[in-house]
Amino acid sequence: PLKMATLSDPAFTSTQEVQAFVLNIFMLFSPPLPFALMPFLTGCLLNAVHGFQTPIQSLPDFLKSRLLYFTTPEGVFQLNAFGAVSEVIVTFMGPLLVVVQGYRALLMSFFFFQYVARRYKSNQQTQQTVMIFTQKADGWFKHRLVPMPLQNVYMNAKTYVAWGADKLGS
């Protein structure tokens, strides 16, 4: 049963749902970043499609077939993968968002980074997305034509990001 003590329980406050709720609150007060809602909207779409399968049956065929695709294992996987990719893209674009929109976006970028760092520890698709993103960046920055100082900057940045994710993701 829910009690006021539940709100201060570390097991409750460290859940993905509470973290996502806090992140969404911060997104209300930060500059607009609509793509940051995609990871949360994918879960909402999956729940809606599974919850409204009966009314979906009465829709026109072209719409019904597209919505019912998300009830199949392939559709669920595709939508969850899209959410994971969206999380990583928004996290990567956080520093650019701070440069473009100023320090108003800093707090939202920080909390989104913290959310993805925690999600990385529990979600296999987020782990795979980060791994693929890191492999692509390694391919670009470790190329033989990239100057060594730039390679060193990249390696140091990668080390600091991993360290920060480890500290914030716990």
| Gap between the Cα atoms of 132 and 157, Å rounded | 17
| Gap between the Cα atoms of 16 and 118, Å rounded | 8
Q: What tokens were used for 72?
A: 């199949």
One DSSP character per residue, 8-76 reads: G-HHHHTSHHHHHHHHHHHHHHSPP-GGGGHHHHHHHHHHHHHHTHHHHTTS-HHHHHHHHGGGSHHHH
Please indicate, yes or no, whether the overall pTM of this predicted structure exceeds 0.85. Answer: no
Looking at residues 100-121, what average pLDDT do you find?
A: 85
What confidence score (pLDDT) does residue 7 get?
Answer: 66
pLDDT tens-digit series, residues 32-72: 777 788 888 888 899 999 999 999 999 999 999 999 999 99
pLDDT band at 4, cuts 50/70/90?
A: low
